[in-house]
């Protein structure tokens, strides 16, 4: 099972469906037991939905997915 720090680090990967099945299961087990991490994950999900709903030049046409990927990479590099 993952701890809270690992869950926050992998949250973007879970939402982007980029984790292995083993990591997804560990993530799901932690989320099932940790209310704080469930809230954190929901906040991330809503933020991403909000960004994607913006009209260009800030929405999909502006490369929001690329920006989110870069943010995830920078977070992993800093935490890793």
pLDDT at 16: 67
Question: What is the value of pTM for the model shown?
Answer: 0.60
pLDDT tens digits, one per residue of 49-67:
887 777 666 555 556 677 7
d(CA 5, CA 46): 20
Sequence spans of domains, the chain: 4-79
d(CA 26, CA 48): 23
pLDDT tens digits, one per residue of 4-20:
998 888 877 776 677 88
Give the model's confidence band at 35: pLDDT under 50 very low, under 70 low, under 90 confident, else very high. very high
Provide, rounded to the nearest whole percent, the portion of the chain with pLDDT above 90: 19
SS3 string, 7-32, reads HHHHHHHHHCCCCCHHHHHHHHHHHH
């Amino acid at each position: 099972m993952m701890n809270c720090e690992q869950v926050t680090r992998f949250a973007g990967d879970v939402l982007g469906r980029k984790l292995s099945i083993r990591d997804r299961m560990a993530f799901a087990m932690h989320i099932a037991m940790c209310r704080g991490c469930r809230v954190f994950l929901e906040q991330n999900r809503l933020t991403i939905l909000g960004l994607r709903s913006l009209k260009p030049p800030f929405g999909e046409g502006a490369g929001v997915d690329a920006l989110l990927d870069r943010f995830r990479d920078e977070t992993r590099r800093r935490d890793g």
